Structure formats: structure tokens, C-alpha cells
Amino acid sequence: MHLVVVVGLALPAAGYAQSQSREAVIVSKSGALNLKSAAALVVDQNGQRVLYAKNVESVVPIASITKLMTALVVLDAGLPLEERIAISEADLDDVKHTRSRLGVGTVLPRGDLLRLALMASENRAAAALTRAYPGGTRAFVAAMNQKATELGMWRTRFVDGTGLSSENVSTAQDLARLVGAAYRDPLISQYTTESAHTVELANGRRLTYANSNRLVRNTGWEIGLSKTGYISEAGRCLVLQARIAATPVIIVLLDSWGKLTRIGDANRIKRWMESRFARQPAG
């Protein structure tokens, strides 16, 4: 395995060093950090330094990490969050045939749909948000790709707002930019880190949704943004903005195998950073 030391590497505005396309691990006094995810990136937001990089230029499907861009487009458009939107037949998943508790005819405010799409990765909610955009789904997807260009996500492409399509692709380095932009929006930060949310339907029935990332319920973590993703082509994905050892970081984990590997990798990063920063001399 080819190893590259990347401690303290600056994060340019438009891209990373060529060497980062290879697998890289950090080597420091606290030892090597070895993650199981196929692609991974850890960025120190204070100095925009790369702390860990592994296959960060690989273009891969990103599953429901897509929904962060969906949220940015919805909020950029200034669409009223109190406007009520009905789930329609067009919002059903004919790609992966995933299930949903939001039946056809369910009516919820745009804000609730956005919250469920981000927190619980609700696919029909995300599909309804894209369909209810001015100009419809086609205009929404065009806005997603335009936003990606504005953020410098040069290797990213979107074809839907749910992430169910494996044609939604990006790189770990591009997704770090997406996470940074999404974290700066207080509403996205709030919605993605809530542990649970309950919506009330027109018939009085109440539906409670849990966050798809168990780490937001872990008091040992200080998380400012969270999003999970999974389809078979993408594997299990996780992106986070968190404060670890008093340092704000962005974490991108793509194509983790097994249900718990992405959580395990996140915890390995946390323990490694706490150990590394504790060993550094003060000042």
C-alpha cells in the first residue's frame, strides 16, 4: 500500500494536491489512523488543513448525501417553509422501490418535508421537494448542478434530489465543500442533528421519525451537521461537521462495508484526534 504523509496539507479553494488521489494515511506521534471506508477525508476547518485523505478524488455514487444539496437548493430559492405540499404518485420510488410512511395524498408543510429528508433521509419527502420547485424536477436538478459548480464541486453530478440514482456522483473532496456550505445554513445544521421529529397528519395520526445517524444521540459527540446515505452502488456513507478536541472538522466517509463500519470509522477518527491533540504541547 502506498502511504503519503498529509499532516498540515493546505486545502486549496479549487482542489487538492495530485498525491491525494492515492490512498493516504496520517502518520503522527499518536500512530497511524487506518479507516475501513473506501474513501475518506478529514479537514480541520480552522486552517483548512487536510488531516486524513484516502481516495479523495475517486468519483463514486453518493446516495442520500445528495439531500444536503437538495436542502441548499430549496433554501436558496426562498420557498415558503409553511407552504403545504401533497405527496403524489410521482414521488414514489421506481428506482430502488424503497418504502415510506408518507402515503400518496399525505400533506405536510415544506419545512417538515425538508426536516424529514435531512434527518431521516425520507425519500418521498425529498422527491416532493424537488417536484414542488418552480419549473419542476428538471429545473430543480439543473439548480443542483449549478450550485455544485458555484461551490467548486467540479467532479459532481446530480440527476435527482433523493440520491436513489447511482448516477448522483461526487468525490470526498467535493463533498467536503458541500458539507461546509450546508453547515453554514443554521436550518440545515438544526434539521440534520435533531435526534427525532414528529409530524401530525391531517387525520390526526402522528408519525415519529428518528435521525438516521445514531451519533447525534451520543453525548460524547458535538455534531453540527450530519447526513447518512446508502444504496448498494454507494455502500454506506456518512458526512459530519463536528467539534473534536476543540477543533472543528469536516468528516467524509464513503463506501463503508457493513452497517456499523462508518460509525466505527467516525469513532476511530474521534479517538485519534483526541489522542493526537492531547499529545501536542500547549501554545
Domain boundaries, the chain: 9-60+219-279, 61-166+185-214
- The amino acid present at 114, given as its one-letter code, is L
Q: Please tell me the predicted confidence (pLDDT) of residue 156.
A: 98
- Specify the CATH superfamily of domain 61-166+185-214: DD-peptidase/beta-lactamase superfamily (3.40.710.10)
Query: What CA–CA distance (Å, rounded) separates 140 from 127?
Result: 10
Q: Which residue out of 37, 58, 121, 212 is catalytically annotated? A: 121
Check if 121 is active-site.
Answer: yes
Q: What is the DSSP letter of 23?
A: B
Q: Which amino acid is at 172?
A: A
Give the global pTM. 0.89
pLDDT of residue 276: 83
CA dist., res. 191 & res. 226, Å (int): 9
Query: What CATH topology corresponds to 9-60+219-279?
Result: Beta-Lactamase (3.30.450)
What angle do the packed helices 136-150 and 123-131 form, to 10 degrees? Answer: 100
For the chain, 283 residues long, the average pLDDT of each consecutive 10-residue run is 35 39 39 87 92 96 98 98 98 95 97 98 98 98 98 98 98 98 98 97 94 96 98 97 97 93 97 82 49
Q: Hey, what's the cell of 78?
A: 426562498
Catalytic-role residue among 37, 64, 212, 226: 64
Distances, alpha carbon 255 to alpha carbons 24, 62, 67, 174, 193, in Å: 16, 8, 17, 15, 22
- Rounded to whole angstroms, how far apart are CA atoms 36 and 16? 22
Hey, is 121 helix, strand or coil? coil
Q: How many residues does the chain have?
A: 283
The set of cell numbers assigned to 178 is 458541500
Q: Which residues contact 48 (CB under 8 A, 6 or more apart)?
A: 10, 11
Active-site position among 67, 147, 227, 270: 67
Beta strands in 133-246 (DSSP E): 169-170, 196-200, 206-210, 223-231, 235-244
Given this model, what pLDDT does residue 19 score? 34
228 strand-pairing partners? 238
Q: Is 170 a catalytic residue?
A: no
Distance CA 104, CA 106 (A): 6
CB 243 within 8 A of CB 225: no
* pLDDT score at 277: 76
| Strand, coil or helix: 237 | strand
C-alpha cell, 183: 453547515
Residue 223 in contact with residue 241, Cβ under 8 Å? yes
Catalytic annotation on 256? no
